[in-house]
Amino acid sequence: MIKYKLICKKCKKDFDSWFASSNEFEKLKRKKLLTCISCNSAKVEKNLMAPKVINSNLSNNNQEEIQKFKDVKKVVKNYQNFIKQNFDYVGNNFAYEARSIHYDNKKKVKGIYGTASKSDLKELKEEGIETQILPWIEDKSN
């Protein structure tokens, strides 16, 4: 069973309704068997709520939050330094370089890092090339 919040486009009544599955909801809707409990209109839609963003604490700019961010930043920076020292930067050629290592058995002493689009990463994964996504902070201040 699945519960949906529904809203009537006609009288703006919102109400909850249970369905056996999401398919059942679509089926009833298509057959116009889904009607408003108040005005009987078939113009009933799923009432999609906007996702809530939990960042109210951040706007307070309290010390604890700032410190937390600084701590995370420090960890990421350390990680970045490690990668910069131990991996070759290939920039936007990441997908190309990753493939050449994978297919040509190119012997590289170092791993590589660089930037790639989401679709590049998806393709690489489909080809069996494992990649790791890292948080990266571009910091020009030091």
Residues found near Zn ion in the complex (CB under 5 A): 8, 10-11, 13, 36, 38-39, 41
- C-beta of 39 vs 72, nearer to Zn ion: 39
CB of 13 to Zn ion, least distance (A): 5
Residue 44: both structure tokens together: 């009933």
CB of 21 to Zn ion, least distance (A): 24
CB of 10 to Zn ion, least distance (A): 5
Rounded Cα gap, residues 11 and 16, in angstroms: 15
- C-beta of 41 vs 80, nearer to Zn ion: 41
Rounded Cα gap, residues 55 and 33, in angstroms: 41
Contact call for residues 15 and 34 (beta carbons, < 8 A): no
- C-beta of 34 vs 36, nearer to Zn ion: 36
The neighbouring-strand residues paired with 15 are 6
